[in-house]
Every structure is written in structure tokens, then in C-alpha cells.
Amino acid sequence: MSEQSTADTLLIVDAQIGLLRGEFDVSQPESVIANASTALDRARSRGANVVYVMHVGDEGGALDPKTPGWQVVPELAPRSGELILEKEVSDSFYQTGLEQVLRDGDAKTIALAGCMTPFCIDTTARSAVFRRFNVHLLGDCHTGPGVGDLSSTEVVRYHNAVLDDLGSDDAVIVVKDSDQVEFG
């Protein structure tokens, strides 16, 4: 096992029923949910900040806020007092107030989990680093659809490889399985 790492915030992006249990063909959704649930329990027990970002989709679509598909899967459901932000694009920082929330919470290192790896997870991880937050991408806690000739499993594997160690001296993305990240 690799060296343990510590994160002060768990960011859960697009862990919504319409994506993880809906019409999208995502890689191993039940395993991702189970791993993310374990990480969430650890983050809560250690007093880490937990922030949810949910995608607002088109009316009548899988992520229409008026439909059950918009809700977070029950295993990862927010508790009272946990912040929920809404977004309309892939970047969880764009016009959501997320950066200010993280700065107000004195966040330095974010553990990132969720859905839509090639879009929202990738963009959010890169955007966090550009804002000088370190990111622990939880390699077993994100998923998404296939893209082009790549299957959904290959997309996750690709992103785990390409995003690992991406950044600068100011901030970096590292990929760690959820059991390699502590919270505090």
C-alpha cells in the first residue's frame, strides 16, 4: 500500500441517481458508491468538511431538479449542515461559490469523488489545482461514461493515469485509492 495522505475536505461531485443509477453507462457504479460511502463515513468521523456539488440538468432530463434522478444516491446523501452547491457546467468552481467556501473553511487539500470523470471530475480537479488547492483524486471513487473508442472503465483508468502528479510546486493532483487517504 502507498503512503497515507491527508485531506481536510471531501468534495462529492455529481453523485446523483440519474447518473449513477440512470440511463448512463458508467463504470462500476455500485463499487464507486460503496468506496465513496466508506470515505464519506471516515471524513465525517474525523470532522472534515464535506461539500456536495450537483449538476442541474435540463427540464425533463435525467438531472432535472424536479425529478428523483437529481437527488444524491441514498448511500452518499448529505446530512444536515453539509453544503450543497449547484452547477450548470463541468467545472464545480464556475459560478458556484465553491472557491470561497473552501477558502472560508481553510481548505488546503481536497479529496475528490463522484461521477462524470471525463467531464466534471477532470475539470474540477484541474480547476482546483489552478486555484492552488491540492487534490487527492480518489481513484476508486469516481466513474463516468465511455468516450469515443474508450469504454467507461478505460476512461477512469486513463484519467487516473493522466491526472496523477499533474500540477506545479503550488498545488498538485495525486491519485490515491480511498483507503490511502485520511481526513482531518
Please report, rounded to a whole number, the percentage of residues in the chain having pLDDT higher than 70.
98
DSSP bridge partners of 143: 115
Q: Is the pTM of this model over 0.75?
A: yes
Q: What is the mean pLDDT of residues 156-180?
A: 97
C-alpha cell at position 92 = 464545480
pLDDT single digits (tens) 135-154: 999 999 999 999 999 999 99
Provide the residue ranges of all domains of the chain, joining segments of one domain with +.
5-183
Question: What SS3 state is found at 58?
Answer: coil
Please report which confidence band the pLDDT of residue 108 belongs to, taking 50, 70 and 90 as the band edges.
Answer: very high
Is the pLDDT at 181 greater than 70? The verdict is yes
Q: What is the pLDDT of residue 55?
A: 98
Do residues 86 and 63 make contact, with C-beta atoms less than 8 angstroms apart?
A: no
Q: What is the pLDDT of residue 3?
A: 65
When comparing pLDDT for 23 and 177, which is higher?
A: 177
Is the pLDDT at 115 greater than 50? The verdict is yes
Q: What is the mean pLDDT of residues 75-88?
A: 97
Residues with Cβ within 8 Å of residue 99, at least 6 apart in sequence = 93, 131
36-65 core/surface letters (b: 16 or more CB in 10 A; e: else)? bbebbebbeeeebbbbbbbbebeeeebbee
Q: What is the pLDDT of residue 23?
A: 83
- What's the CATH fold of domain 5-183? Rossmann fold (3.40.50)
Please report which confidence band the pLDDT of residue 111 belongs to, taking 50, 70 and 90 as the band edges.
Answer: very high
Is the pLDDT at 2 greater than 60? The verdict is no
Is the pLDDT at 37 greater than 50? The verdict is yes
Q: What is the pLDDT of residue 1?
A: 40
